[in-house]
Structure 1
């Protein structure tokens, strides 16, 4: 077993009791990290050379087990709620000590220095300490990678300690169960225990940036993907998981800036990350060629199974989870933009997968409607189909990313509203969900049609189109769109039972209004007036 020579001092780790010794693998490259994983019998290669692993009990984030330390820094700044759950500082110290002790007892550790934010003006340096080499590979893929010269004087501002094999005592540690992800803004530390789900690492730093950038740097942090056209025009794609952020931003005719997390400054936008973390359920080369081809040596594939008797991944399988994923560096995408920095956005797309089949496939929003939809953050999925539940389930997630927003949603919405007024960017609502009826009756909108609608918007082909206001939601629906059948643009026309559509639309409108009540006191009358009409 070879261990990489340590080239960077680790005083801050020593100060908290972590014994950084010859057992440490520092800045291992992807090939070595994959070999370490296979050597430990924690992963295997598929037939294209990608590393395939299982994350264990947790195959997704655990929002109820994510905690923020409540202290003099955060007490009056964090918006405490079901996502921002307070933890006493004394429990932070207990958990940190337990993780340090646990890591000190291991035969090997993997440490990586990386950074977030592609714009140098906002860069934060991160040191990640891992129990598992495959989580270190995930960190290599997802964060930005310092040069050898930059590593010589690397000063880590934030530290991530990851110990998925450690089960916490809930009573002693002040947590809900044996796993926890804890953020301390005072100590600039993220603690992860009891879960091997790699996304906790990435979303921990995203949450950190969502706290720091708006307050300290006047930068709007966003849960969105972004790309750039040949003329330098930038587009943003907001949406919850499963709405198409990654798929629709990976456009062969545009440069990919990033697929998930960005900041908007006075001069443009920048990616927080150095990689992509794409869903792979039902992945095919035909539908998503860039993502499909990114599954090669260096990529990390999570919680998939093989076709029996082969090393070919069965992307249709939900045997382990529906949330199957792959992480890979941004440059695995053939048209990735480097550095991943773009100009002021000209077009902004809010993506929703409306399983009720009610919302138009494309509509234009006024600034007030944009603010209403942004604060609402709507999508609807089909929940629990394996158990026979076929009714759609609505999800409202403020700013399309509520679990990662430490500040009040109104802060991010206010910043977006100001930028929309300053830049006059076009805002479009895109329904990637059902048409011709809700789930079980209608069909999922064809990806080719969605791409055609977005392309038309990006190329200005809808600038002179005729628009008709939707009678309930008020959004402006084009009567024509290049390469899209006219009859699908107005959703009511696609339903065989028009009365059933009217009832479904009223029901969804009522859900919007009910959800928005919690924000009424903090928004303007103009935004309230953009609500659906019941």
Structure 2
């Protein structure tokens, strides 16, 4: 079937009697419960479970290899190619499958809070709770905007359609296929709602740099004086938690652009991990889970009360809610240029210091390295922390070569005189299984000190592993925590583990052959 015929078939589908378009959060909540897709919590939030797929499925994500975009894509294990023919055949099957449904749910909205660079979206969902998810996660149009909206990209999501790998050319029954030329994201076989938001993030990571805008996997907030801070890091490193600071206003928790005017949120909502969530430690997130919110894979008791400490379904329990559920959030979510950048890593080796200030070269090195530990549940099959290097702290979502994003960051740091810090939210006093996870209260204190400028000019000592400048004292944080070697009882064991990590960094960085020697020599490990 040709592309034009597929477009006609989609248009026919969207004009059918089964379509429920632009329903409110209340209506979608009612539909999700009526259809048996979800149940309500004691606070009125929707709770759904996602079966076998409780996290992203990176091995099932493909980009259609078509002109002219195929010349720009960094093809490989992350951006796996699929032919236009395979895509079109599967697309036709999915449309036929959806055509047999009694009800389909359609959301129209935007990705990108900056009107000059936003992307207009249409999302077609088989599940009402999925449509509620995108209603809260993407940017909701005003009534006036809705009248003139013309979708540049359409997500077609059919979780109950299972692919046959031998026939359909997929890796498994699940698939996420992005066609940049057709403006289609095709999803099937997985009920995990996060695939929808991350696929559009991948699209924006392709489109924005072509407009001279840096796209970023980060959270962001702003203080009373207009001082913007960015928090880079993979899932589970603390982006959402640390950016949801009661003393600052939230711009966004996961995806942003940085233009010549400043930063803007790509989304209209938040998608927070909620394993071990408590009102005491994370009051803003805890309070946001109410009517209109969506919980994924959270265990409820008989009265509908969430047990956030229960990870029996997955460690990757999630809460999705609109940005305005966070008191004092910035709406529309745009702000000026950042003053501070925080790189977050969850080091399961227990080697990196809890906070250190980076030179520009070190910032470029650690941005390209994107070191962290994948935490349990964020991807299928991850049950304990695994060391990983995720380029630019967002490798799974970057269609273009890493150096495109890194060079843009370097230019921004120079242009705006940004302070950059590396913060380890991982382990201290030993590696995973021996030491303990860094206390959130300590991390909050250190991050606030960095953002408030309290670390400017403080006395530091240089670590032996990466030459990182570590503050000797921060009010409210025990001094023996600040130097990670001091926190280990067995210093020889620390040195051995540090060398192991440094060797891993060097080996990983070999893939960046075109990077300047100054970044390699001044930014990397020194032992």
Which TM-score applies when normalising by structure 1?
0.94
Q: Which residue of 2 aligns with 1:6?
A: none
1:349-368: CA deviations, max 9, x gaps?
Answer: 00011121111111000000
Secondary structure in structure 1 of the residue aligned to 2:110: strand
1:390 deviation in Å?
A: 10
Contact 1:390 1:440 in 2 (8 A): no
Contact 1:73 1:185 in 2 (8 A): no
1:328 aligns with 2:321: yes
Contact 1:382 1:439 in 2 (8 A): no
CA distance in 2, matches of 1:495, 1:465: 24
1:43 deviation in Å?
A: 0.8
Contact 1:13 1:20 in 2 (8 A): no
1:314 aligns with 2:304: no
Q: How many residues were matched structurally?
A: 517
CA distance in 2, matches of 1:113, 1:99: 20
Q: Which residue of 1 aligns with 2:410?
A: 417
1:249 aligns with 2:243: yes
Q: Which residue of 2 aligns with 1:36?
A: 31
Secondary structure in structure 2 of the residue aligned to 1:394: strand
Task: Summarize the alignment of residues 374-385 of structure 1 with structure 2, pairs less than 5 Å apart.
Answer: 374-381=367-374
1:172 aligns with 2:167: yes
1:450 deviation in Å?
A: 0.7
242-251 or 316-325, which deviates more: 316-325
Secondary structure in structure 2 of the residue aligned to 1:156: coil
Contact 1:355 1:381 in 2 (8 A): no
CA distance in 2, matches of 1:379, 1:101: 42
Match of 1:188 among 183, 186, 193: 183
1:275-297: CA deviations, max 9, x gaps?
Answer: 00000111110111111111100
CA distance in 2, matches of 1:450, 1:431: 8
Task: Summarize the alignment of residues 497-516 of structure 1 with structure 2, pairs less than 5 Å apart.
Answer: 497-516=490-509
Match of 1:518 among 490, 511, 514: 511
Q: Which residue of 2 aligns with 1:373?
A: 366
1:86 aligns with 2:81: yes
1:103 aligns with 2:98: yes
CA distance in 2, matches of 1:13, 1:159: 14
1:214-256: CA deviations, max 9, x gaps?
Answer: 02x1100000000001100000000011110000000000000
Is the alpha carbon distance of 1:382 and 1:407 closer, same or farther for their aligned partners in structure 2, counting shifts above 3 Å?
Answer: closer
1:336 deviation in Å?
A: 0.7
1:197 aligns with 2:189: no
Secondary structure in structure 1 of the residue aligned to 2:32: helix
Contact 1:470 1:477 in 2 (8 A): yes
Secondary structure in structure 2 of the residue aligned to 1:111: strand
CA distance in 2, matches of 1:57, 1:20: 33
CA distance in 1, matches of 2:167, 2:316: 32
Match of 2:397 among 399, 404, 414: 404
1:467-526: CA deviations, max 9, x gaps?
Answer: 22212211111111122122211111111111111111111111111111111x120001
Task: Summarize the alignment of residues 461-476 of structure 1 with structure 2, pairs less than 5 Å apart.
Answer: 461-476=454-469
Q: Which residue of 2 aligns with 1:3?
A: none
Task: Summarize the alignment of residues 165-314 of structure 1 with structure 2, pairs less than 5 Å apart.
Answer: 165-215=160-210, 217-307=211-301, 309-314=302-307
Contact 2:61 2:177 in 1 (8 A): yes
1:56 deviation in Å?
A: 2.2
Is the alpha carbon distance of 1:19 and 1:128 closer, same or farther for their aligned partners in structure 2, counting shifts above 3 Å?
Answer: closer
Contact 1:110 1:132 in 2 (8 A): yes
Task: Summarize the alignment of residues 416-455 of structure 1 with structure 2, pairs less than 5 Å apart.
Answer: 416-455=409-448
CA distance in 2, matches of 1:174, 1:439: 39
Contact 1:110 1:129 in 2 (8 A): yes
Secondary structure in structure 1 of the residue aligned to 2:70: coil
Match of 2:520 among 506, 509, 528: 528
1:97-116: CA deviations, max 9, x gaps?
Answer: 11111111111110110101
Q: Which residue of 2 aligns with 1:4?
A: none
Secondary structure in structure 2 of the residue aligned to 1:182: strand
CA distance in 1, matches of 2:7, 2:241: 40
Ranges in structure 1 where 5+ consecutive residues have no aligned partner? 1-10
Match of 2:57 among 58, 62, 65: 62
Q: Which residue of 1 aligns with 2:146?
A: 151
1:449 deviation in Å?
A: 0.9
Is the alpha carbon distance of 1:391 and 1:138 closer, same or farther for their aligned partners in structure 2, counting shifts above 3 Å?
Answer: closer
Is the alpha carbon distance of 1:101 and 1:232 closer, same or farther for their aligned partners in structure 2, counting shifts above 3 Å?
Answer: same
1:381 deviation in Å?
A: 5.0
1:121-180: CA deviations, max 9, x gaps?
Answer: 101110111100000000001000001111112111111111001112223322112111
CA distance in 1, matches of 2:10, 2:136: 28
1:271-316: CA deviations, max 9, x gaps?
Answer: 0000000001111101111111111000000011123x33111111
CA distance in 1, matches of 2:430, 2:86: 50
Which TM-score applies when normalising by structure 2?
0.96
Is the alpha carbon distance of 1:344 and 1:271 closer, same or farther for their aligned partners in structure 2, counting shifts above 3 Å?
Answer: same
RMSD: 1.6
